[in-house]
Amino acid sequence: MSTEAKVGLLVIISAVLLIGTVYYVGNEQWGHHMTPYRTYLRYAGGVEPGSAVLFGGITVGRVAAVRAWNEDPTEIELLLEVKEGTPVNVSCTARLGAVSLMSSPAISITTGSNHAPRLKPGDVISSEETVSIDEMARKLAGITDMAQGLIAQVQGEIKGVSEHANTLLGNLNEATGSTNRRQIAEILSNTNTMIAQQSSKIDRITDQVSIATQDADVAIKKVAPLLAHVDATVGNVNSTIDQAREPLHQDLLQMQSTMEQARSLIASIQTIVRTNDGNIRETMENLRVATEGLAQLSTGLKDRPWGLVRIRQPKDRKVPEQNSSPHSAPLAH
């Protein structure tokens, strides 16, 4: 066999081995050992079929398809293929991410919770939206506009502060000028002269204050026994009050007992009155009738006192009638 034939045979064998290796590795990596899942995002910038799927930062699969969702056109449907045995659970969340700043976009899945139930093949992984580059650019533009306004405001305030600072410096320069310095020196000189002239008087006033202080100490010493007597008097008054307190307390207790007995007696009288109310009213009515009878008897005796002696009362005398005829005899005088 020629050298060319040997080289060709070696190339063919190498190609067959390479194809077999690629097929085996692809079958082991992406074949029947992959579990399909779905997720939905509103923004899937840069994600395409074949993009990596990360689980806690570890590559566990790839994106099988990226397409607009017919049921909701505002969301993008992503079909994921994840290695079998990956603990994808209900608490996991899928979001748009990347392994590094320079790498292509990927779908990052959080690890979720160990106590959450596992998702079945074909289930939907809950998603969480990330900030897109366009939205980030808009926010940066808004922050830039706000920063420009803030800078302009700060510049205006700094200008005002500078003007106030210049005014303050001018006032300080004017206050520390030669004229004001001479006036302050004259004021200090006059003050020193006045203190030198009045020092003797100040000494006399100080001596008088010292003497007054000594006299006050003597007066306080004299008043101290009086205060002691006042304390003793107050103590005697307190003792007297304490001694008189117990008899007063006993008298008050007796008065309270007397009041309670009087209250009980009044309650008993009220009970008796309520019980004999009908009898009392009947008695009062009889007394009223008897009083009216006595009043009528008194009136009759006053008008006819002879009623006590005569059984029959004489008839009332008639007044004689005068004869008015002309033939009647004249009345005797």
pLDDT digits (tens, 9 = 90+) for 81-101: 999 889 999 999 999 887 666
Whether residue 80 is contained in a domain is answered as: yes
Whether residue 72 is contained in a domain is answered as: yes
Whether residue 306 is contained in a domain is answered as: no
Q: Give 239's pLDDT tier (boundaries 50, 70, 90).
A: confident
Q: Determine the structural domain holding residue 100 and report its residue range.
A: 33-130
Whether residue 282 is contained in a domain is answered as: no
**Which is it for strands 76-83 and 58-68: parallel, antiparallel or unpaired?**
antiparallel
Distance CA 272, CA 259 (A): 20
Is pTM beyond 0.95? Reply is no
Whether residue 109 is contained in a domain is answered as: yes
Amino acid symbol at 318? K
Whether residue 39 is contained in a domain is answered as: yes
Q: Give 320's pLDDT tier (boundaries 50, 70, 90).
A: low
Q: What percentage of the chain exceeds 70 in pLDDT?
A: 83
Whether residue 201 is contained in a domain is answered as: no
- Please state the domain count of the chain: 1
Whether residue 37 is contained in a domain is answered as: yes
